[in-house]
A = this chain, B = another copy of it.
Amino acid sequence: MWRMARPRKPLLSRNRIVEAAGALVDAEGLDAVSTRRLAAALGVSGPSLYNHFRTKDEILEAVADAVSARVDLSMFEGEGKGGGEGGNEGADAGGAGSGGDAGGGERDWRGALHAWAHSYRDALSDHPNIVPVLARGPGRRPAGLRLADAVFGAMTAAGWPPAQATRIGALMRYFILGSAVASFARGFVDDEAAYDPSDYPHLGQAHLLAERQREVDEGAFETGLTALLDGLALQYEALREKPST
């Protein structure tokens, strides 16, 4: 046995950094994350982080990616011919339900999209402060691409043409992220006195209350999701009737 090098274990790792950053974001918000504060929480000195990430932004991207990775994708299973170690079974496979008047597409793409949308929104509402990071830019982080891939694969397997399958992944993402950003990406202001109701003839005073905002957000999400899926079902039917183009 030659001489054992490797004196003591490294204090930091990418994983430990991402975990601490996520906790800090959750507890105190995006603005609270400075390299010095984060390093202090890890019992280490500021610049040490740069041995593991090239910029602070890369750390936040990794936190956002970890949240994306927690989104359930099991509802899309059954068609994938690709790799993966299949770790994503569990989660609440609860009330999918679907509408019913679409006639039951092959393998129920509609129900899968519905369940996925809710799983996605729930993951975001657990970590509202990271949503702005997650929303910006196209989904180019690993977990974001994995989401896009799963949706694309399931939609094409259900009979959607590839171009439409790509669009469905994108438009669902718009709606879900848009709802998350607008709903809980920012603390409510609630300084009602600043808004004069007489400026907005149709809106009642009630519209300005934070509590009411929560109701509206949830109702709007469900109404919008249903409309989106109903509208897509219409396109899907039209596709079955005249399969040209």
Contacts and interface: CB of A to CB of B under 8 A. Distances in A.
Give this chain's copy count.
Answer: 2
A53 interface: no
A137 interface: yes
Nearest to A166: B216
Interface in A148-183: 148-149, 152-153, 156, 163-164, 166-168, 170-171, 173-179, 181-183
A200 B170 contact: no
A218 to B, nearest CB: 10
A69 B181 CA distance: 20
A149 B100 CA distance: 34
Interface in A215-233: 216-217, 219-221, 223-224, 226-232
Contacts of A187: 137
Interface of A: 80-84, 132, 135-140, 142, 145-146, 148-149, 152-153, 156, 163-164, 166-168, 170-171, 173-179, 181-183, 185-189, 195, 198-203, 207-208, 213, 216-217, 219-221, 223-224, 226-232, 234-235
